Copies of this chain bind each other. A is one copy, B any other.
Amino acid sequence: MKVTVLQDIMSANDRIASKNEDLLNKNNVLAVNVMSSPGAGKTSLILETIKKLKNQIKIAVIEADISSTIDAEKIIETGVPAVQINTGGECHTDANMFGTGIEQLSLKDIDLLLLENVGNLVCPAEFRIGAQRNVMLLSIPEGDDKPYKYPLMFTTVEVVIVSKMDYLPLSDFNLDQFEKAVKGINPDAHIFHVSIKNGTGIEEWTGWLKSQLRLI
């Protein structure tokens, strides 16, 4: 009984995810699902991406949180349209929530849609939402053993951003070992080293985003 219900939920989710993706493609919108643990720097990365790209491309943001609107308020201050979705206790965004967020945006006025998912290394990786690209951040203070502990997240993304690189000198994070572990489970992943504080890697990240925009 429990299993059947769960399968129904997942296949219903995937149907809505496909509808979301069709709608985005039809409107030439590239949606990027940004995932990480709490506090790995998703909001800071999104704010920096807006700063670098908002004069070149039209950006919008969907902020997903269990509760609160703190992050959406920060985005709106930049002048970019932002929608807040609260998951009401759920540890991830599902396709239906993402679809509800999309409906509130004027898609024809958007090139790049960034979704900040709930801070969590587990559940968000289990739900397709219909974004064409999936990206995760792993911050230096979290440690280099995370690909072994949260393998699904590391295999469902096209990009792994190692964030808070400025903390590296204080940390025993082994970058080589980490990258080998990531490539072992996801050989095609792009890995960028980023620090918002000192600007490391931002060009590479925004360059990748622009290259993906040309593909859709």
Contacts and interface: CB of A to CB of B under 8 A. Distances in A.
Interface of A: 1-2, 5, 9, 37-40, 65-68, 70, 89, 91, 118-123, 126, 139, 141-143, 145-146, 148-152, 164, 166-167, 170
A149 B5 contact: no
Contacts of A1: 5
B5 A39 contact: no
A211 B141 CA distance: 31
Contacts of A66: 122, 149-152
Nearest to A139: B141
A172 to B, nearest CB: 10
B67 A149 contact: yes
A139 B142 CA distance: 9
B145 A70 contact: yes
Contacts of A142: 37-40
A121 B38 contact: yes
Contacts of A38: 37, 121, 142-143, 146, 149-150
A9 B2 contact: yes
Contact of A120 (B9, B120, B141): B120
A178 B68 CA distance: 15
Given A65-B149, A122-B118, A141 B39 contact: yes
Given A1-B5, A151-B67, A146 B39 contact: yes
Given A91-B91, A120-B91, A120-B120, A148 B68 contact: yes
